[in-house]
């Protein structure tokens, strides 16, 4: 039974996206930004914006190690008040 929450256009776009990426060489740094742009387009939602927008790729987070040292890590995709990926 088809999913009633996904429009036919979105389902077709997601199927095309899956086909396009089938067999893609694994490379998170190279592929993630491109894939997210195409994924959000297929869903018909806004793509991430520039740094500081609250919805961005590579969001910096301060991490304090067990020894007390500080470093910066990155969240692949961050949307304030909604999700991290």
Q: How far apart are CA 76 and CA 57, in angstroms?
A: 5
The pLDDT of residue 5 is 73
Q: At 59, which helix (H) or strand (E)?
A: strand 55-64
Question: What is the sign of the dihedral through the CA atoms of 37, 41, 43 and 45?
Answer: positive
Cβ-Cβ contacts under 8 Å for 83 (sequence gap 6 or more): 77
pLDDT per residue of the chain (85 residues) written in tens, 0 to 9: 555 677 899 999 999 999 999 999 999 999 999 999 999 999 999 999 999 999 999 999 999 999 999 999 999 999 999 999 9
């Amino acid at each position: 039974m088809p999913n009633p929450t996904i429009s036919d256009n979105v389902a077709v776009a997601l199927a095309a996206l899956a086909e396009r990426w089938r067999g893609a060489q694994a490379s998170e740094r190279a592929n993630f930004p491109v894939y997210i742009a195409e994924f959000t387009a297929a869903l018909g939602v806004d793509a991430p914006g520039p740094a500081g927008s609250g919805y961005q790729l590579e969001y910096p987070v301060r991490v304090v190690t067990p020894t007390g040292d500080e470093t910066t890590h990155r969240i692949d995709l961050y949307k304030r008040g909604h999700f991290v990926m």
